[in-house]
Amino acid sequence: MIVFENVTKVYPGGNTALQDLSLHIHKGEFVFVLGHSGAGKSTFLKLILREEKATSGRVLVGGKDLTRLKEREVPYLRRNMGVVFQDFRLIPTMTAYENVAFAMRVTNIPEKKIRTRVPYVLKLVGLGEKMDCLPEHMSGGEQQRVALARALVHSPQLIIADEPTGNIDPELSLEMMELLSAINSVGITVVVVTHEHELARQFNKRVITIDHGHLVDDTDHGADLHNSKAEEPVGEVRL
Ligand code: ADP
């Protein structure tokens, strides 16, 4: 699903954010990408989203080589992945329903489909009763779930959560992790980017640790799975 081959990213000005990073995140995996501030996590995310390009090496997502992707193909790439940003990035003047619907409208999906799809994903994240609420009338955890619903709306095969515990309290963090686990259990690849060791250690999942742009540890709990069923399609359930 995500392949980094000897990826180095040097920003203009000479800051090296990632250095010769190689990793393989398989379809259907649940992976933590762990690192201190400045380790290179945001750069890792930006390369996957093609907000930045690798200076050298290759980045592949869903079999597509992002270093060769044409600009006009970038929106399609992003539509196949759902990102839950740390600051949620909701539109404050729109209700939960409108925030999710907006993500569909910008891709010209017919209104009829939006009217059934939006309540479906909002119910999936437990917000069936809050569809008409504005973000300011929702808790941090609820706002985060609106962001998750929006990330799920295009049935992506990959969900990325950027510092999911950053803006909510510990109890709600656990709820979010359970939701992400449920999403993963139907075959969707989940990548959680975090600086919190405790969060990454709490769950028995693969943890990839980055430090100063280098991959310094990879627990790779899924090694057996990869070897026996390498890239075998996981039952594709479309949420
Ligand atoms: P993290 O998300 O783990 O905090 P980043 O990927 O943001 O790490 O940063 C990794 C390194 O790259 C840091 O040294 C940072 O200062 C540098 N960096 C990040 N973005 C830029 C940029 N746009 N221009 C120059 N240097 C940058």
pLDDT at 230: 43
Decide: 33 and 208 in contact? Cβ < 8 Å.
yes
Cβ(43) – ligand 1 distance below 6 Å:
yes
Nearest-CA residue for atom 13 of ligand 1: 38
Alpha helices in the chain (DSSP H): 41-48, 74-79, 96-105, 111-124, 140-152, 170-185, 197-202, 223-228
Helix axes 96-105, 111-124, angle to 10 degrees: 130
Exposed/middle/buried for residue 126 (C-beta within 10 Å: 0-12, 13-18, 19+): middle
Single-letter code of the amino acid located at 31: V
Q: What does the pLDDT look like over 103-133, one tens digit per residue?
A: 999 988 999 999 999 999 999 999 999 999 9
Nearest-CA residue for atom 16 of ligand 1: 38
Cα(204)–Cα(202) distance, rounded to whole angstroms?
7
Q: How far is the CA of 1 from the CAs of 19, 75, 142, 189, in angstroms?
A: 21, 17, 29, 8
Q: Tokens 């059934």 sit at which residue?
A: 116
Single-letter code of the amino acid located at 161: A
Going from the Cα of 197 to the center of ligand 1, the distance in angstroms, rounded, reads 20
pLDDT at 53: 96
Q: What does the pLDDT look like over 12-41, one tens digit per residue?
A: 999 999 999 999 999 999 999 999 999 999
| pTM of the full structure | 0.90
Cβ(41) – ligand 1 distance below 6 Å:
yes
What is the mean pLDDT, run by run of 10 residues, along the chain of 239 residues? Answer: 97 96 96 96 96 97 92 90 94 98 92 96 96 96 96 95 85 88 95 92 93 95 48 57
Atom from ligand 1 closest to the CA of residue 36? 3
Going from the Cα of 168 to the center of ligand 1, the distance in angstroms, rounded, reads 24
Task: Provide the token pair at 121.
Answer: 């994903």
